[in-house]
Amino acid sequence: MFNGLLPKQAGSQVASEHNKTAHICIRGIWATACQYLTEGNLLSKKYEFIEHTADLGFKAYGAGLEELFAHAAEALFETLVSLESIKEREERSIEVEADALDDLMVSWLGELLYLYDTEGLLFKGFQVKQIENNRLEANVRGEILDLARHEIKTEIKAVTYHQLYVKKIGGTWEARVIFDI
């Protein structure tokens, strides 16, 4: 796992007073690992990017499945562009289903990537309303890609099943996802 966190870069901003943002570089791609802070204590990471030969991956974390899937979606779009550059101008409802939780993660991220690829939609607000019986319902908020404001960090070809998992470790849900870039 890549542990080389770098100091905050000039011009970047902390997302809110409850989040701390660290910028990292993996094979020349700048990305962000977000961490929750409550009263100055580190509770858990939202996601972190991991090294993978020729591809890019991340681990996402959440107290519950809904939070885990929301954090995974944030990691997807942080891989594409800076989340800070995305405005929440339009909302979409998304429903996906699958045979198992790991399949549901691929379907969820694949649907979001499909909307980016076909309609140029970038999202940063993720309200995963329900995950039940391997079916996910969510509302997502974002805007259409504007190359004047959104700098593409990397292109993602696909969400893969390689080394994929979604599991509960102790009291925390964790997922690992690898993108084909």
Q: Residue 101: its pLDDT value, please? A: 97
Structure tokens at 46: 């939202």
Residue with the bigger pLDDT between 31 and 138: it is 138
pLDDT value for 59: 97
The number of angstroms, rounded, from the C-alpha of 15 to the middle of its chain's C-alpha atoms is 14
pLDDT digit string, tens, across residues 49-67: 997 777 899 999 999 999 9
- What's the pTM? 0.77
Give residue 44's pLDDT.
57
Closest CA to 163 of 180, 176, 181: 176
19-180 under CATH 3.90.110.10, yes or no: no
Q: What is the pLDDT of residue 51?
A: 79
Q: Has residue 1 got a pLDDT over 60?
A: no
User: What pLDDT does residue 52 have?
Assistant: 73
Using an 8 Å Cβ cutoff, are 61 and 36 in contact? no
What digits encode the pLDDT tens for the residues 142-172?
A: 999 999 999 999 999 999 999 999 999 999 9
Residue 122 has pLDDT above 80, yes or no: yes
Q: What is the CB neighbour count within 10 angstroms for residue 154? A: 16
Q: Are 59 and 50 in contact (CB under 8 A)?
A: yes
pLDDT at 45 over 60: yes
